[in-house]
Structure 1
Amino acid sequence: MAPQADLLLTNAHLRTMTGQEPEATALAVTDGRITAIGDTATLVQDCAGPRTERLDLAGATVTPGLVDSHSHPVWGLRMATGADLTGVQDLDALRDALRRAERIDGWVVGWGLDHNAFGGRPLHRDLVEDVLDGAPTFLRLYDGHSALVSGAALTAAGITGPRSFAQRSEIVRGPDGRLTGHLIEHAAMDLVDAVVPTPSYEERRTGLVDLLTAMAATGLTGAHVMDGSGLDLLAAVEEETELPLRLTLAPWCMPGVDAAGLDELVALQRERGRNWRVGGVKFFMDGTVEGGTAWLEHPDCHGQGTEAFWPDPAAYSAAVRHLHAAGVRTATHAIGDAAVRHVLDTVEALGASGRGAHRIEHIESVPDDTLPRFAALGVTASMQPPHTAYTKGDHSDEWSKRLGDERAARAWRTRDLRAAGATLALGSDWPIAPYDVRRVLAMARVPEGAAGPGQGLTGLEALEGVTAHAAAAAGEADTTGRIAVGLRADLTVLGLDPVTAPADELAEAPVLLTTVGGRITHRTR
């Protein structure tokens, strides 16, 4: 007989993701694990007791807990500071938004700005400086890899000219020799970001808990955090309360790292709390198409994209080998075809031991011959369906124009990668795109923009991308990602079946319940 349950879900429709759906309508949870699956009457009789919380789901669908396979909840709070510019469509709207923007300690700060808003013009502070009243200004572009800053911000950061960096970064100077205020990639942006006003600890703590609570309300029970920001904040929050999501973090490894630095990343893998842990390392092999820093096999329309983020790509491969030998999983940001190919080559050189331990993030445009290599090498494809919304089907957007029609026609090949047998983990990349996992599922089935409907997944494949395949991507297939006895009770309950419901209905599906280890983190009944 099963032990007395802490939580008993009855009259439910189960999507177990085990490949063989049982004739069952109930499940029991004890001490954070699924302890029984069966029909409602039997489990009520065998598992219910005085301390059991019983929830009648009235036919709602229970899935394994939905996981965002690429997110930045702590770093993202810093990125998503100030004016929300995600709705800005053109330069006039941007100028109006900046006029009205609330100052933060005298600064104008904004985020989420679409490259398309500039209408093909080169990014330049002259386009907006006259509406800023001299205020230092820091505007993040939506891709998170570039920013536009004012002259006052350059002065505040002590920037008077171009600089050399250990990674692919640039302080852009115009044809007239003046600094344009366009900062490309992390090292350049960090120079100004270091002097931008920062929120207090209390603001960060409250913001993080509120954000994770809102994420849980969309059905999320976990996230793969593609940075190592805020380990101290996570630990401090857990001294006061419980995290609403289970987080797996991958701190960054940047060009110029030495053996001691790599060993520090290995040691970081021991850091963990109740509902967070360090579980990997994040690399960048390139930047973004719109910023001209995606590593391409052929230049983009501006003659850019021919350089890797690591000036010496062989040094990247050596760093991966070092971490792999220590048993550390890696995730590599690779958007362009040359970047993706180099990561695949690096994993192939690891031999059989590399299977299942490494993943590639984003994969925005790749040729046919790379597709079967993901399955052959056991490399997870981690992709973000909402990113397709920044492009257009007619290729008139900045991403498509930079790549040209041939490469834009092979955009976000989720369907092709699944057909080739790849493990395909899905995420949002918040704050680059909205975190609502229902939208991720819907857009995986009906991709927008340059990707087009031909790259759409089935309802089951999309659900696998945020459950079973997400678990495999994190090396947790034996503990989560399915509904089975003995696995963690990370569960999502939706008011409709995410496999069979139309995509537009799924995007607004009622989220009735989410649990992390059997602990209820969101409920509407």
Structure 2
Amino acid sequence: MSAADLLLVNTRIREGATLSTPTGILVRDGEIREIGDPRALRTAARAGTDALDLHGAVTTAGLVDGHLHPALGVEDTDGVNLTGCRTLEDVRAALARETGEWIVGWGLDPNCFGDRPVTNAPLADVFGDRPAVLRLFDAHSALLSEEALRRAGIDGPREFADRSAFACDETGRPTGLVLEFSALEVAYAPVPRQPFARRRERLRELLEAMAATGLTGGHVMDCNGDSLELYRSLDEAGELPLRLRIAPWCRPGDDSARRAELVARQGVGGRLWEVAGVKMFLDGTIDNSTAWLADPDCCGHSRDSAWRDPGAYSDAVRYFAARGIQTATHAIGDAAVAHALSTMATLSPGSMRRHRIEHIETIPDELIPLFARHDVVASMQPAHATEFTRADHSDNWSRRIGEERAGRGWRCRDLLDAGATLVLGSDWPVAPFDPRPILAAAQLRRAPGHPDAEPVGPAQALTAQQALHGYTAAPAAAIGDRRGGAVAVGMRADLTVWVDDPVGCGPDALAALPIRLTMTDGLLSFAE
């Protein structure tokens, strides 16, 4: 990282609908001190301040991913990457190259199984007698070999407070599929864990890669294990390139002592990271039948909340709200979103914090206006629609919920038009973290670079300006950050500099638009 005082010259500033003529930005002590004529700024700069000519590159507020899992993702992405596999033959080929005692993989797409259920039987030939654990792409489920089931002590059904489950056949024999976090903890208990030093190095490399795509910060939706020590170690060594806001989990079954612990954690942090907020789960995912839908999915599943008593979730939200703590609720199904909204409608206007709902994959018309009415932030990942579903509804997600509900998926534009604050993000490692293809997908409703692909829900497409707002001003507004999300005097110097205008270049070009530099807290975290 470079010195804290810097003069950026010959840059155009993109703020909303306005693109300025070339100008200068004086950065001092992590703050934007002045914007204007570079000659005047040179006079105002302190002796020794470096000047950097950006040759007409475009500066925006720093990009912030509204929902990601860096430290947890470093563990979840251990082993072979299966995200490129489209068939079971692809999966077999990838796993056949693994030679260690354990076969560990991640990113398995249930669409690889076609119309067949997700079980370990189709992969038994490649597993053999070795322990194997493959995390599915949604990060809420995993597929275990017979030997991995044995080592984890999984020999039949079991009840959990959060409705986690070991999928079993009609005889009660486990099929290998493990659903949701409590069950995943059992499944992964025997799996060798990476040492702290290795995870720290991988996290450093990950965050540097994120900075190279223009990211200056992220809203981290987990705080498990020793993740805070990882962030603390990087920050104290000056190796943390992103500003991170971290929300630990409150799970079904957590008692009053756990809630008090979560309150006590608030404000813990360092120069670029802070614990602020609480993450909660009302359901799981549609792909693994653990979402909470108003009517069952086409397999007769996804009928229940993750909380056996949804009222206990509401009590927990009110507990944190009364203490001025923002909650972020994972709610994918329409019933989950409806319950979260009805809970937030009961909160006192003086509860100090806006509350959030994460994902919001399928909702009916009547829920749309309630986000603005109750001042609830909508946090969404538009690339999930373009990465994992198809316009013809032939994918696993769409087949499970049916035509009508699939047709009202990822309603980004409707929420925005209704006055909601819309925050965009990746949910990495569920989907790639690079914000540029996500910004493009939000506009195209298809994967960028594939003009022949039919868009998924094209009426929900955002404009380029709206999409950029979802990665800049909206994340700041969502957390009440008055010094972020804009390029203006007095704001923090969290900046993304593009070689061209991200609003005017066109979405397919945007997906690969080079980043000139990334600045976090006045320090260069990336420069080409």
1:248-273 residue CA offsets vs partner (Å, 9 max, x unmatched): 10000001122221111011102101
Give the C-alpha shift of residue 299 in structure 1: 0.7
Distance in 2 separating the partners of 1:167 and 1:5: 47
Q: Is 1:456 aligned to 2:461, yes or no?
A: yes
Give the C-alpha shift of residue 304 in structure 1: 0.7
Q: Is 1:153 aligned to 2:157, yes or no?
A: no
Q: Secondary structure at the match of 1:54?
A: strand
Distance in 1 separating the partners of 2:342 and 2:22: 45
Q: Is 1:197 aligned to 2:197, yes or no?
A: no
Q: Secondary structure at the match of 1:140?
A: strand
Selected match of 1:253 from 245, 250, 259? 250
Q: Is 1:471 aligned to 2:476, yes or no?
A: yes
Query: How many residue pairs were aligned?
Result: 516
Q: What TM-score does the superposition give when structure 2 sets the normalisation length?
A: 0.95
Give the C-alpha shift of residue 339 in structure 1: 0.3
5+ residue gaps, structure 1, are none
Letter in 1 for 2:248: P
CA contact (8 A) 1:348 1:354 kept: no
CA contact (8 A) 1:413 1:451 kept: no
Distance in 2 separating the partners of 1:58 and 1:73: 33
* 1:418 match: 416
Give the C-alpha shift of residue 351 in structure 1: 3.3
1:213-242 residue CA offsets vs partner (Å, 9 max, x unmatched): 000000000010000130011112223333
1:412-453 residue CA offsets vs partner (Å, 9 max, x unmatched): 001111111110000000000000011111111111377332
Give the C-alpha shift of residue 20 in structure 1: 6.5
Q: Secondary structure at the match of 2:230?
A: helix
Selected match of 1:34 from 20, 32, 35? 32
Give the C-alpha shift of residue 355 in structure 1: 7.5
Distance in 2 separating the partners of 1:141 and 1:215: 23
Distance in 1 separating the partners of 2:442 and 2:241: 25
Letter in 2 for 1:236: S
* Matches for 1:72-151 after TM superposition, within 5 Å: 72-103=69-100, 106-151=101-146
Distance in 1 separating the partners of 2:456 and 2:326: 29
Distance in 1 separating the partners of 2:40 and 2:182: 60
1:315-336 residue CA offsets vs partner (Å, 9 max, x unmatched): 0000010001111111000000
Distance in 1 separating the partners of 2:396 and 2:351: 36
1:339-388 residue CA offsets vs partner (Å, 9 max, x unmatched): 00000001000032357520000000100111111111111100012101
* Matches for 1:399-438 after TM superposition, within 5 Å: 399-438=397-436
Q: Is 1:496 aligned to 2:500, yes or no?
A: yes
CA contact (8 A) 1:414 1:455 kept: yes
Q: Is 1:329 aligned to 2:326, yes or no?
A: yes
* Matches for 1:378-397 after TM superposition, within 5 Å: 378-388=375-385, 389-397=387-395
* 1:220 match: 215
CA contact (8 A) 2:4 2:522 kept: no
CA contact (8 A) 2:247 2:275 kept: yes
* 1:61 match: 58
Letter in 1 for 2:464: G
Q: Is 1:371 aligned to 2:376, yes or no?
A: no
* 2:451 match: none
Q: Is 1:188 aligned to 2:180, yes or no?
A: no
Letter in 2 for 1:174: D
Give the C-alpha shift of residue 16 in structure 1: 3.1
Selected match of 2:526 from 506, 522, 525? 522
CA contact (8 A) 1:85 1:112 kept: yes
Letter in 1 for 2:424: L
Shift in CA distance, 373/450, structure 1 to aligned 2, threshold 3 Å = farther
CA contact (8 A) 1:395 1:450 kept: no
Give the C-alpha shift of residue 499 in structure 1: 1.1
Distance in 2 separating the partners of 1:102 and 1:32: 48
* 1:509 match: 513
Distance in 1 separating the partners of 2:415 and 2:165: 33
Indicate the percent of aligned positions where both proteins have the same amino acid: 50
Letter in 2 for 1:166: A
* 2:14 match: 15
Letter in 2 for 1:509: L
Moved over 4 A (4+): 19-24
Give the C-alpha shift of residue 21 in structure 1: 6.3
Distance in 2 separating the partners of 1:244 and 1:489: 13
CA contact (8 A) 2:444 2:455 kept: no
Shift in CA distance, 195/407, structure 1 to aligned 2, threshold 3 Å = same
CA RMSD of aligned residues (A): 1.6
* 1:6 match: 5
CA contact (8 A) 1:355 1:377 kept: no
Q: Secondary structure at the match of 1:232?
A: helix
CA contact (8 A) 1:248 1:276 kept: yes
1:262-289 residue CA offsets vs partner (Å, 9 max, x unmatched): 1110111021011110010000010101
* 2:449 match: none
Shift in CA distance, 5/140, structure 1 to aligned 2, threshold 3 Å = closer
Give the C-alpha shift of residue 481 in structure 1: 0.5
Q: Secondary structure at the match of 1:282?
A: strand
* 1:299 match: 296
Q: Secondary structure at the match of 2:7?
A: strand
Q: What TM-score does the superposition give when structure 1 sets the normalisation length?
A: 0.96
Letter in 2 for 1:93: D
CA contact (8 A) 1:67 1:470 kept: yes
Q: Secondary structure at the match of 1:404?
A: helix
Letter in 1 for 2:500: L
Q: Is 1:484 aligned to 2:474, yes or no?
A: no
